[in-house]
Amino acid sequence: MTLKAREQQGAAPANPVFEALPERFEFAREEEIVLQRWRDCDAFQESMRRSRKANLPLYTFYDGPPFATGMPHYGHILAGTIKDVVTRYAHQSGHHVERRFGWDCHGLPIEYAIDKKLGITSKEQHLAMGIPAYNKECRSIVQKYASEWRYVTERYGRWIDMDNDWKTMNPTFMESVWWVFKSMYDKGLVYQGFKVMPYSTACHTPLSNFEKGQNYKEVADPAVVASFPIVNADPNSPLHGASLLAFTTTPWTLPSNLALCVNANMTYSVIRDNASGALWVCGSNTILKEVYGKAKVEAGKEPYSVVATMPGSDLVGLQYEPIFDYFAGSPLAAKAFVVVSDDYVQEESGTGIVHQAPAFGEDDYRVCLDHGIIQRGPGLICPVDESGRFTSNVPDFAGRYVKEADRDIIRALRKRGRIVRDYQKKHDYPHCWRSDTPLIYKAVPSWFVNVPKIRDRLLQCNEQTYWVPAYVKERRFHNWLMDARDWSVSRTRYWGTPLPIWISDDGDEIVVIGSIAELQERSGRAEPITDLHREFVDEITIPSSKGKGVLRRVEDVFDCWFESGSMPYASRHYPFENADEFERGFPADFIAEGLDQTRGWFYTLMVVSVALFDKPPFQNLICNGLVLAEDGKKMSKSLNNYPDPMLVMNTHGADAMRLYLINSPVVRADSLKFSEAGVRDVVKDVFVPWSNTLRLFISQARRRALKDGTTFKANPDVFNRTDNVMDKWILSSLQTLIAGFRKEMNLYELAKVVPHLVGFIDKLSLWYVRFNKLRIKGDAGPEACEASLCTLYHVLLSMARLMAPFTPFLADTMYYYLKPALPQEQQEDTVHFDMVPDVDESSRDESIERAVAAMQLVVETGRTARDQASVSLRIPLPKCIVVTSSRELISYVEPLSDYIVEQLNVQSVEFSDAVSDYISVSLEPDNRRLGKRLGKHRPAVVAALKAMSHSDVVKFRQDGVARIGEFDITIEDVIVQTTFIGDAKQFVSHSAGEVVVIISREPDDACVRLGQARTLVAHVQGLRKQALLTIEDEVRIFADYGAGSATSRFIRDHRDYVESSLKVAIEPMAELSPEAHIVADDRKEVVPGESIRVVIARR
């Protein structure tokens, strides 16, 4: 009964239950609608209130804090998406998951931005400005982009609390950092030292070794081989009149040279340069390469001759002429300008003689200290200031930045005849991770955490953690811990948490403070201490307990990585507050960040946690790789080589970007070359089929309601008792998906989950819907229609719940349109209040899944075979033969032959296991696999393979391996070739695995007429679509074609099919009224040489 007829008979108004979908899904626009619904119901906080009220098990998550000094980029969005997927799943699998956003507020990123803004380049400028004014400037930009971060974070669907956030600059956070440091100090893990460290001249501060490792770049530096004349060689020695040759890529360190180092066990040569007659000393194996820059020369044309050879031990104790005389008379250099020995000198590079500038090299410092050339402590020749400029101690280059002075130093030495060779050398060199400027090595005083002291426990605790991918933990992070060095935690800066160390003027008395209350008490200060930044605590003194006057705070602040490594405690103001809450949730269940954090946040978290609690700080970790530009280069604003993330989200939708990122190698720590086309493909290949399946369901459910008043309600009893194979298959496949989904999500294997989810959408749209359209549309009867619609509804609703962590917007849109069929008490404001479905084992049937998989193989193989016939898929072909040696496969597929007939559009299908009646099988060796392995035996093995009978090949394929001579040949070692031996003029064939499908090449007349009827139906449906008609629009269809024509014959023969497919009768054109509301009028040549006119008019 039509809607109009129901109204004319006075029937009750139909209730379609479901809201009609928009004509076209604009996914990005739908996401904005979902966002507003979330805001209206305060969705995230409401979900938190519910899980808290239900007293669900706690799931702890730590968020790695970003700096808010720049806009979020794809790396942030990737890491945020991973965290959101995992924490949404944790919540939807029955946990209370607190998600608080955190901010890194201190340190070099902030100070460097202020220095650039104010044009500050030296420590003197900082002090002239004053710490209070400087820190006020820093505070002002800490949250410069906070609102943009909030907007972007919300826009890509991440649920995290940005109102109840934590900041490293909050006094409560800083106080807990003090407690962490004091706890380490009390355990004997903190000491003050004077070491050569990576030093940022742009930021005027030392960096830790793991910070140094974060930003290596390939650069071309000046490399020189310089000469150092020996001054105390015996006149009778071959060394008399010779010069030692040393190699360096840092010519700016030569003015600070205090020694030369050789390896006592290496062999050295005294050589005479044939061009100049000069005598030089260098490692015997490096002469051509480093001294002359040549790999080899022809015999007899050597540019030098060897005068003598000797062990390096013979060179130890030699004195040489200083290359510069700036410190020749200094008491600090009284024991300098001498040759010493150490095993770190190797012959693989350089000249085998290393110049020593102890203020600017770790090994240099150690070697010179071991040989008494320098003394431990700050009394060291170091003519470079905080900005990396030469001091007045080097008058020729005073005020010059050291790297810029390289060329002039080389030029000065060349004038004095001290340069033997100079050239540009490409090598990887560390740069400041904040300012992107080259680091230097410089001796500075610092406070250190003695990490090697707890190295064994770090390695043991690392073994207790679970990482995805595992190799990052087992190799990269393990190796980093194995080589862990002392961690310099102090920075000579201003905007940061001050080190809580008060020290007497003579350095003998040290007090480390662990809380505001302790500082208040020890200092005797009356006014309350409300802030811990330098401008508030620098002037506070502590009376000496040893009669040494007062103790003053050291000037340093903490490395900001120490603060972020302390976040599990400081973010909760532990131990001063929230102790029970912290202890219940420590260690964290989950953290995630990028691969670079193996030397950053992952490392500092582990060091602090093991130092304090002797346990790892987290249990599970996902490590993502780097998102690169599409050209494989680093994303760069200046190169403009990547699309704006907001533009991508507003064009294709955030869900598409999320799924693109999660379903890529980047979630397994590999790199991803970001492509907007890849995001677009997610929409085309996943979202469009998924939403079209929803559209089909909604339209057919509404059609039933509007046509005959059948209101759809979710009824599990209907789909649970269905006897339809495809219903059972999709329901079983759903349960298999849920089981795998839960397993892999519990293992944090996101990269394995998404392909299964996407694959299931393909199963649903390409197989279930295609095989069941007649049932879904009601053409197979009301009961079949109800069973298929109930099945489809259950699957769509389950998919909305499963996809919710990955595509939170589209999943919620799906749920919004589906939920009206649920009982009122089960309807939620958002799918994210629902739990992930549990596995229903009663719906699983592996035999049905295997049977349909076999049928799919036959259909896909048959489609490929049909393509060879070059006949439209709408035209049936007479016959299909499925050939396989597997009786088991036939037993699976034969009961499903109706589906094969329908999908391949053939009149009949036969099955046969008599393979040799239809095809011949031969084997060809895979030369790439077998070539080297067989060697001279290859001809014999190839002959044996080709001589195999059909039954031999069948057995080989079944067993997977065959013994030929002395070799075990696997089925992967060969290429199986099948050849159809039937009539190729009548049939086409194609094989896949152990299945061959043979199909008639030409249709008969009856097949042609049925194909023409199907073409007409497709044409009319296309006209309906062009006219923007919906399934609910009532129309009349008129056709004009010649009586007695071939067109009239196919319409006569197949009128029932055409009219049932169109759900409306075909009327003669003569009955078209002049007043009719025509919406489509077109001609189509269905039969060659004949045209049919079709007119569609609204009823």
pLDDT in tens, 152-202: 999 999 999 999 999 999 999 999 999 999 999 999 999 998 888 889 888
Q: How far is CA 165 from the centre of its chain?
A: 25
Under a CB-based contact definition with an 8 Å cutoff, are residues 66 and 76 in contact?
Answer: yes
Residues 524-544: what's their mean pLDDT?
Answer: 94
Annotate 534-569 with DSSP letters as a single string: HHHHTT--EE-SSSS-EEEE-S-EE-HHHHHHTHHH
Most confident of 63-67, 87-91, 301-305, 1053-1057: 87-91
What local confidence, expressed as pLDDT, does residue 210 receive?
63
Under a CB-based contact definition with an 8 Å cutoff, are residues 869 and 988 in contact?
Answer: yes
Residues 628-646: what's their mean pLDDT?
Answer: 86
Under a CB-based contact definition with an 8 Å cutoff, are residues 606 and 462 in contact?
Answer: yes
Under a CB-based contact definition with an 8 Å cutoff, are residues 101 and 162 in contact?
Answer: yes
Q: Does one domain contain both 177 and 254?
A: no
pLDDT bracket for residue 60 (50, 70, 90): very high
What local confidence, expressed as pLDDT, does residue 469 receive?
95
What local confidence, expressed as pLDDT, does residue 1080 receive?
86
Q: Does one domain contain both 363 and 402?
A: yes
pLDDT bracket for residue 964 (50, 70, 90): confident
Residues 663-677: what's their mean pLDDT?
Answer: 93
5 has a pLDDT exceeding 60: no
Q: What residues does 672 pair with on adjacent strands?
A: 627
The phi, psi pair for 1098, rounded to 5°, reads: -65, 145
Q: Supply the pTM of this predicted model.
A: 0.84
What local confidence, expressed as pLDDT, does residue 268 receive?
95
CB count within 10 Å of CB 1027 equals 15
Q: Does one domain contain both 174 and 228?
A: no
How distant, in Å, are the alpha carbons of 594, 776, 882 from that of 852?
41, 19, 15
Q: Does one domain contain both 1014 and 1032?
A: yes
365 has a pLDDT exceeding 80: yes
Q: Which helix (H) or strand (E) holds 582?
A: helix 579-584
pLDDT in tens, 581-634: 999 999 999 999 999 898 889 999 999 999 999 999 999 999 999 999 898 888
| d(C-alpha 342, C-alpha 315), whole Å | 12
Would you say residue 853 lies in a domain? no
- In the numeric block, which tokens belong to residue 348? 């693989």
What local confidence, expressed as pLDDT, does residue 921 receive?
78
Three-class SS state of 920: strand
What local confidence, expressed as pLDDT, does residue 295 receive?
66
| d(C-alpha 1071, C-alpha 1083), whole Å | 18
The rounded mean pLDDT for the chain is 89
| d(C-alpha 1060, C-alpha 511), whole Å | 92
- In the numeric block, which tokens belong to residue 302? 């050597």
Cα angle at 535 between 605 and 600, to 5 degrees?
Answer: 15
| d(C-alpha 120, C-alpha 126), whole Å | 7
Residues 472-498: what's their mean pLDDT?
Answer: 93
| d(C-alpha 290, C-alpha 434), whole Å | 35
Q: Does one domain contain both 1035 and 936?
A: no
Q: How far is CA 171 from the centre of its chain?
A: 34
Three-class SS state of 106: coil
Residues 1053-1078: what's their mean pLDDT?
Answer: 85
Would you say residue 406 lies in a domain? yes
pLDDT bracket for residue 209 (50, 70, 90): low
Under a CB-based contact definition with an 8 Å cutoff, are residues 618 and 605 in contact?
Answer: yes
pLDDT higher for 870 or 648?
A: 648
- Output the CA torsion 582→587→591→597 (10° steps): 110
What local confidence, expressed as pLDDT, does residue 16 receive?
64
The phi, psi pair for 251, rounded to 5°, reads: -55, -25
Q: Does one domain contain both 97 and 179?
A: yes
Q: What is the residue range of 32's domain?
A: 15-53+644-829
Residues 431-438: what's their mean pLDDT?
Answer: 83
How distant, in Å, are the alpha carbons of 72, 144, 905 from that of 149?
6, 10, 55
Most confident of 549-563, 636-650, 905-919: 549-563
Of 195-209, 640-654, 719-733, 892-906, which range is least confident? 195-209
Determine how β-strand 557-558 pairs with β-strand 967-970.
unpaired
How distant, in Å, are the alpha carbons of 43, 83, 155, 644, 687 from that of 159?
9, 10, 10, 22, 22
Of 125-129, 224-228, 733-737, which range is least confident? 125-129
CATH number at residue 91: 3.40.50.620
| d(C-alpha 165, C-alpha 105), whole Å | 12
936 has a pLDDT exceeding 80: no
pLDDT higher for 577 or 1009?
A: 577
Q: Does one domain contain both 212 and 291?
A: yes
- Output the CA torsion 242→248→252→256 (10° steps): -60
Q: Does one domain contain both 60 and 43?
A: no
Under a CB-based contact definition with an 8 Å cutoff, are residues 712 and 18 in contact?
Answer: yes
6 has a pLDDT exceeding 50: no
Of 299-313, 568-582, 857-871, 1036-1050, which range is least confident? 1036-1050
What local confidence, expressed as pLDDT, does residue 228 receive?
97
Domain count, the chain: 5
Annotate 925-983 with DSSP letters as a single string: E-HHHHHHHHGGGHHHHHHHHHT--HHHHHHHHHHSEEEETTEEEEGGGEEEEEEE-S-
Which of 186, 162, 132, 147 is CA-nearest to residue 65? Answer: 162
Q: Does one domain contain both 969 and 1029?
A: no
Q: Does one domain contain both 952 and 931?
A: yes
How large a percentage of the chain has pLDDT more than 70? Answer: 98
Under a CB-based contact definition with an 8 Å cutoff, are residues 873 and 844 in contact?
Answer: no
Cβ within 8 Å of residue 781, ≥6 positions away: none
What local confidence, expressed as pLDDT, does residue 572 receive?
96
- In the numeric block, which tokens belong to residue 322? 């200083």
What local confidence, expressed as pLDDT, does residue 286 receive?
84
225 has a pLDDT exceeding 90: yes
What local confidence, expressed as pLDDT, does residue 7 receive?
40
Determine how β-strand 987-992 pairs with β-strand 995-1000.
antiparallel
357 has a pLDDT exceeding 80: yes
- Output the CA torsion 171→173→179→182 (10° steps): -80
CATH number at residue 806: 1.10.730.10
- In the numeric block, which tokens belong to residue 944? 């044996």
Q: Does one domain contain both 781 and 924?
A: no
Residues 13-42: what's their mean pLDDT?
Answer: 86
Q: Which helix (H) or strand (E) holds 336?
A: none
| d(C-alpha 616, C-alpha 588), whole Å | 9
| d(C-alpha 709, C-alpha 3), whole Å | 9
CATH number at residue 933: 3.30.720
* Helix pair angle (27-41, 808-818), 10° resolution: 80
Query: Could you identify the residue written with the tokens 């008491």?
Result: 331
Under a CB-based contact definition with an 8 Å cutoff, are residues 558 and 491 in contact?
Answer: yes
What local confidence, expressed as pLDDT, does residue 511 receive?
96
Would you say residue 512 lies in a domain? no
Q: What residues does 498 pair with on adjacent strands?
A: 557
Would you say residue 865 lies in a domain? no
- Active centre residues (catalytic): 65, 104, 561, 597, 601, 634, 637
Would you say residue 886 lies in a domain? no
pLDDT higher for 548 or 789?
A: 789
Would you say residue 846 lies in a domain? no
How large a percentage of the chain has pLDDT more than 90? Answer: 57
| d(C-alpha 697, C-alpha 701), whole Å | 6
What local confidence, expressed as pLDDT, does residue 1 receive?
38
Residues 703-708: what's their mean pLDDT?
Answer: 80
Would you say residue 630 lies in a domain? no
What local confidence, expressed as pLDDT, does residue 15 receive?
56
Q: Residue 754 burial (CB < 10 Å; 0-12/13-18/19+)?
A: buried
Q: Does one domain contain both 267 and 402?
A: yes
| d(C-alpha 397, C-alpha 374), whole Å | 24
Would you say residue 988 lies in a domain? no
What local confidence, expressed as pLDDT, does residue 490 receive?
92
pLDDT bracket for residue 836 (50, 70, 90): very high
Query: Could you identify the residue written with the tokens 């989810």?
Result: 757
CATH number at residue 223: 3.90.740.10
Q: Residue 437 burial (CB < 10 Å; 0-12/13-18/19+)?
A: middle
What local confidence, expressed as pLDDT, does residue 8 receive?
42
What local confidence, expressed as pLDDT, does residue 1040 receive?
85
Domain final residue pick, 796, 813, 829: 829
